Amino acid sequence: MIFNSLTFVVFFAIVLGVWQLRLPWTGRKVFLLIASYLFYAAWNPPFVLLLWASTVVDWWAAQTMVKSDRKSVRRSWLIASLVVNLGMLAFFKYGQFLLDNFVVIAGSIGVRYVPAKYDIVLPVGISFYTFATLSYTLDVYLKRSKPAAHFLDYALFVTFFPHLVAGPIMRPTELVPQFAEPKRATRVMLLFGLFLITVGLFQKVVLADGFLAPVVEAVYDPRGPTVPLLLDAWIATLAFAGQIFCDFAGYSTTAIGVALSLGFAMPDNFRFPYGAVGFSDFWRRWHITLSAWLRDYLYIPLGGNRYGPARTYMALMGTMLLGGLWHGASWTFVAWGGLHGIYLSAERWLRGRFGDFKPGRGQLLALMLLTFLLIDVTWVFFRSDSFGEAWTILGAMIGHAPGGKPLVAIVPMICAAAIVAAIVGTHWAMRLTTIEAVVERTPAWALTLAWATMLFAVIIEQGQGNAFIYFAF
């Protein structure tokens, strides 16, 4: 079940209606838990068993760790949690990747190995809920937080359907306390939540799927072996930058709106990332909850910036390489993460050498555009199915396109360029503010007109009910 489907509209209307009834708080939470399981089971019912396994193991691990003073017992239960969660993630997401690389390595030393077909379906959202549950046991083990007082509250944290399959990646300390007392959205919360849902669906259905995806697919998924021309390669890559933002930010915005309509607060996951000046600024704005998770549970444990420059650069590269691998079981994702690691390391070195430099507004704008263009280069690896395809498109982007031909029609090209320019311009203009602040100072008539226009566009576009890009991760 995806947000941009009529099935979800009916599902959410029923959930919202029942949630408003004057029922006991425990009964309402049980209803929300069951609804969340149904939401997830709509993809593949047997995979609910994985959610149960992760929930039960981590619950008991945390309860046992907090009651025991013996370090060996605490460590054993942490290891059990890591083995169960990372083991399931490795089996379902990285099994084929590991097997393929084993075959290549064996072949390089003269051993021919033909394995059986690894026909395993990837459970939707497994990377997201695995990171969420791991943060629970790690925080309890490190004594950063106490375990949930009630199993129902913890189970609801894991399965809460707005964030279950594609984030934001919630921490227990952010959501579990909200289950302690009865919640029901106020009129303002409900209206703003529904507005955010409309904004998110407009980004996904109209911009990402309606205008940008066809341009991207014409170049990155052509019919037959083709080489794009310089302009086609750049337009398709810029369109993908817009598509992946509108797709993923659209999901996060919709999820935050759904939660708010029920009376719950969820953290921002995007803050106008294409208005970033520099790459550390970009990662403070892009997929914020993942960035924070990687910082707290990878970068800092790897040494962070506490042990000198060399260790810091190693920590940055290690974190971003693993962050790339988290996104997908492919070396192209690792390359994407590695490029960001190089960018962050180079930026850190430059800040150390030119830390006193204070750019003016024009210089800030130039640095923002440079940041955006370099990020576009990384998106080539993120979107390409292979290194061969990535090199072909990168070659076309610098004018090396032997036998190239136009792949994108002029009208879609102009529309894509205009949309991406509008996205980047909006991010630059709003980089120091929030959507809440903009809504507060916008006249009611203008806000109503914008809302009605977006809703009309979503209804007219309808689309094919395409899944969100990050469902694959």
- Give Cα separations from 38 to 1, 34, 49, 210, 266 (angstroms): 9, 6, 12, 29, 21
Catalytic residue among 150, 163, 287, 327: 327
- Give Cα separations from 427 to 124, 368, 424 (angstroms): 30, 10, 5
Our answer to whether residue 327 is catalytic in this structure is yes
Half-sphere exposure (Cβ direction) of 165: Cα atoms closer than 13 Å: 26
User: What is the C-alpha end-to-end distance of the chain, expressed in Å?
Assistant: 16
d(CA 267, CA 76): 32
- What amino acid positions are annotated as catalytic residues? 327
